[in-house]
């Protein structure tokens, strides 16, 4: 099917408002230009691509483009496409919200329930296939395009870029990210409020130090997630009380005295849903009311398939939400490159926590990624991988429907993994059965917070990791292991 969310050209996050499609699209584009999310000179998607992405008629998009050209918001020339007019208004961030004073009291570590040892079922032979979630297809890293970007970046790099560098990170990458995140994820980003880090865990470590120094005692977390994140926060002396969840996702209405919240709002890990609008609003209202901070982990926001794009939570209130992104899922974790978009009053504290120089991220890799984004190669790569991962997902769903019809699949509208619901009491036996088939899989219980009672039985299956040649065998082994 060609008219899908996976086939869009350059990524562009738009929310249509108003009584009519054309007027709603025009107002969304005006707002994107007015606030600086679409910078002057930015080339817009073709009318065909944008129409396919939004699920509306191509003529509606063409008419909206033509009217905005007439109004002076856009320009259109033969051969160069439709672009944002050069005289567009400069970027201006949203008005700062009132910040409640920080809580007093010394930071102290809350008791942390003992970590459950991982389940290690006996394995008759070494795993030949791995379906663990969280890792992209490493064989699809765009080596040729990356080398071209690296050569261009190195040829034009100023001499000072080869020094130790500033803790902020290279301005070239921060500028490229500000434009990309505004366009593709709906993030209000200014280069001066972006700090480059060495992946998400590094960014979370910096924020844990800042929160501890600000006398925060607890960071609320989701019932299901990664123990490495909870352990990191606990190691910094921060409690990690889990929020309850239901079929609609994390219940944010119960937030109270916690000083911060760590959440995967666009695509919950590992359950896979998007945080509903009312619960997004409740979280932001809580942060505004109490002066708390929301840490948004947007770990795979680029990969959505058959639903409308869900913008970043940060767009609702950039002064209360810390946006953390990474190249680990879109490119490769081996780059060790991530970024934080910070509220203005946190920038100085994060830079102080990072140190007086750039010790962790290669300046040349930063310059290369900046060139990779500016040239359009990043958009092309993400679009190609979106199609590849969607095919994998569809093959998984089709195989299960044919060979394991009793297994319900959920969490598949976006991301790199699916949740396979199992009959009660069978999760451990299925993980063991998979290992006997030479298949490494993980049960949902592996991702449960220690303070949360055991819940439903399920597998969390990552479908991105195997190579194309190994995928068919991995899928066969998975189906043989299921009840």
Q: Which of 346, 376, 406 marks a domain boundary?
A: 376
Task: Give the H/E segment covering residue 26.
Answer: helix 21-34
Nearest to 13 by CA among 301, 274, 268: 301
Same domain, 339 and 405: no
- Min mean pLDDT across 48-62, 321-335, 360-374, 402-416 is at 48-62
Whether residue 78 is contained in a domain is answered as: yes
DSSP 8-state secondary structure symbol assigned to residue 328? T
Give the integer Cα–Cα distance in Å for 126 and 135: 20
- Residue 163 near residue 358 (C-beta atoms within 8 A): no
Helices of type H across 55-142: 58-71
Within a domain: 107: no
Q: Is residue 89 part of a domain?
A: no
* Higher local confidence (pLDDT), 49 or 336: 336
Burial degree of 126 (CB within 10 A; 0-12, 13-18, 19+):
exposed
Domain total for the chain?
3
- Where helices occur in 133-250 by DSSP H, the ranges are 143-156, 171-185, 200-213, 227-235
Please report where in the chains the tokens 């025009």 appear, as a residue: 26
Q: Percentage of the chain surpassing pLDDT 70?
A: 88
The parent domain of residue 443 ranges over 129-140+379-481
DSSP class of 345: G
Are 207 and 302 in the same domain?
Answer: yes
Query: Based on the domain organization, do 368 and 426 belong to the same domain?
Result: no
Whether residue 370 is predicted with pLDDT greater than 60 in this model: the reply is yes
Cα 297 vs. chain centroid, distance in angstroms? Answer: 6
Let me know whether 253 and 356 are in one domain.
Answer: yes
Give yes or no for a contact between 46 and 13, defined as CB atoms under 8 angstroms apart. no
Burial of residue 422 (number of CB atoms within 10 Å: 0-12, 13-18, 19+): buried
Same domain for 190 and 297, yes or no, is: yes
The model's pTM is 0.79
Tens of pLDDT, residues 207-242: 999 999 999 999 999 999 999 999 999 999 999 999
For residue range 426-470, list pLDDT tens digits in order.
999 999 999 998 999 999 999 999 999 998 999 999 999 888 888
The domain that holds 385 is classified in CATH as: 3.90.1150.10
Q: What pLDDT sits at residue 99?
A: 37
CATH of the domain at 15: 1.10.10.10
Amino acid 39: pLDDT: 86
Residues 175 and 297 in one domain: yes
Place of tokens 């002396």: 237
Q: What is the pLDDT of residue 307?
A: 62
Helix (H, G, I), strand (E, B) or coil at 338: strand
Of the CA atoms within 13 Å of residue 234, those in its CB half-sphere come to: 18
Burial classification of residue 117, based on how many CB atoms lie within 10 Å of its CB (0-12 exposed, 13-18 middle, 19 or more buried): exposed
Query: Would residue 175 count as lying in a domain?
Result: yes
Start-to-end CA distance of the chain, whole Å, equals 32
Contact 45, 12 (CB under 8 A): yes
Which of 472, 431, 455, 417 lies closest to 127 in space, CA to CA? 431
Give the integer Cα–Cα distance in Å for 340 and 398.
38
User: Of 376, 394, 426, at which residue does a domain stop?
Assistant: 376
Cα–Cα distance, 390 to 304 (Å, whole number): 9
Residue closest to 24 by CA, chosen among 44, 66, 54: 54
Per-residue burial over 319-340, b if 16 or more Cβ lie within 10 Å, else e, is: bbbbbbbbbbbbbbbebbbbbb
β-pair type (321-326, 293-297)? parallel
Residue 101 is predicted with a pLDDT of 38
Question: Which of 51, 67, 84 is the C-terminal boundary of a domain?
Answer: 84
Q: In the structure encoding, which two tokens stand for residue 368, read together?
A: 């290369």
pLDDT per position as a tens digit, 242-299:
999 998 999 998 898 899 999 999 999 999 889 999 999 999 999 999 999 999 999 8
The answer as to whether 171 is a domain residue is yes
The verdict on residue 308 lying in a domain is yes
Token pair 């998984």 is found at 396
DSSP state of 278: H
From the list 394, 380, 383, 446, the residue with the least C-alpha distance to 134 is: 446
Q: What is the rounded CA–CA span in Å between residue 257 and residue 442? A: 34
For residues 307 and 425, state if they share a domain.
no
Per the model's pLDDT, the better-predicted residue between 259 and 113 turns out to be 259
For residue 54, name the pLDDT band (cuts at 50, 70, 90): confident
Q: How far apart are CA 230 and CA 112, in angstroms?
A: 10
136 and 148 co-located in one domain: no
Residue 160's CB is within 10 A of a number of other CB atoms, namely 10
**284 vs 317: CA distance, rounded Å:** 7
Cβ within 8 Å of residue 71, ≥6 positions away: none
In sequence order, what are the residues at sequence separation of 6 or more whose Cβ sits closer than 8 angstroms to the Cβ of residue 131? 439, 440, 441, 461, 462, 463, 465, 466, 474, 478
Do 245 and 164 share a structural domain?
yes
Residue 246, burial from CB neighbour count under 10 angstroms (0-12, 13-18, 19+): exposed
**Considering the domain boundaries, does residue 92 fall inside one?**
no
Closest residue by Cα to residue 230 from 239, 132, 257: 239
Burial class, 291, CB count within 10 angstroms (exposed 0-12 / middle 13-18 / buried 19+): middle
For residue 238, give the CATH number of its domain: 3.40.640.10
Same domain for 328 and 393? no
103 found inside a domain: no
One domain for residues 275 and 320:
yes
Q: Which residues contact 294 (CB under 8 A, 6 or more apart)?
A: 260, 261, 263, 283, 284, 287, 313, 320, 321, 322
Asked if residue 429 and residue 348 are part of one domain, the reply reads no
């Amino acid at each position: 099917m060609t008219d899908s969310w996976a086939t869009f050209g350059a990524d562009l996050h738009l929310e249509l408002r108003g009584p009519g499609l054309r007027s709603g699209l025009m107002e969304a584009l005006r707002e994107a230009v007015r606030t600086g999310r679409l910078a002057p000179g930015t080339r817009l998607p073709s009318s065909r691509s944008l129409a396919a992405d939004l699920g509306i008629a191509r003529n509606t998009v063409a008419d909206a483009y033509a009217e905005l050209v007439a109004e002076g918001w856009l320009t259109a020339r033969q051969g160069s496409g439709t672009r944002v007019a050069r005289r567009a208004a400069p970027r201006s961030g949203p008005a700062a919200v009132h910040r409640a004073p920080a809580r007093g009291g010394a930071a102290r570590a809350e008791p942390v329930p003992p970590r459950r040892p991982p389940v290690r079922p006996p394995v008759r032979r070494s795993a030949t296939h791995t379906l663990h979630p969280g890792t992209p297809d490493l064989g699809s890293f765009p080596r040729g395009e990356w080398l071209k970007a690296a050569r261009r970046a190195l040829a034009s790099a100023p001499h000072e870029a080869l020094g130790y560098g500033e803790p902020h990170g290279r301005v070239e990458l921060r500028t490229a990210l500000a434009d990309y995140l505004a366009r593709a994820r709906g993030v209000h980003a200014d280069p001066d409020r972006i700090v480059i880090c060495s992946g998400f865990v590094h960014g979370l470590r910096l924020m844990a130090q800042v929160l501890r120094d600000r006398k925060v005692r607890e960071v609320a977390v989701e019932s299901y997630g990664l123990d490495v994140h909870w352990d990191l926060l606990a190691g910094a002396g921060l409690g990690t009380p889990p929020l309850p969840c239901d079929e609609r996702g994390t219940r944010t209405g119960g937030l109270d005295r916690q000083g911060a919240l760590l959440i995967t709002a666009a695509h919950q890990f590992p359950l896979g849903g998007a945080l509903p609008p009312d619960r997004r609003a409740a979280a932001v209202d809580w942060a505004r009311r109490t002066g708390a901070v929301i840490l948004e982990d947007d770990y795979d926001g680029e990969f959505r398939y058959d639903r409308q794009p869900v913008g970043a939570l940060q767009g609702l209130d950039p002064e209360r939400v810390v946006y953390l992104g990474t190249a680990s899922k879109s490119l490769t974790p081996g780059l060790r490159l991530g970024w934080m978009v910070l509220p203005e009053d946190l920038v100085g504290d994060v830079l102080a926590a990072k140190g007086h120089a750039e010790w962790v991220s290669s300046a040349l890799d930063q310059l290369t990624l900046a060139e990779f984004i500016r040239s359009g190669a990043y958009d092309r790569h993400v679009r190609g991988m979106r199609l590849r991962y969607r095919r994998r997902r569809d093959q998984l769903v089709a195989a299960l429907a044919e060979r394991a019809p009793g297994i319900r699949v959920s969490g598949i509208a976006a991301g790199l993994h699916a949740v396979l619901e199992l009959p009660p009491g069978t999760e451990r036996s299925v993980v063991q059965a998979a290992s006997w088939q030479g298949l490494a899989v993980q049960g949902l219980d592996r991702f449960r917070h220690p303070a949360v009672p055991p819940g439903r039985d399920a597998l969390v299956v990552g479908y991105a990791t195997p190579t194309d040649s190994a995928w068919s065998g991995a899928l066969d082994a998975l189906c043989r292991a299921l009840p």
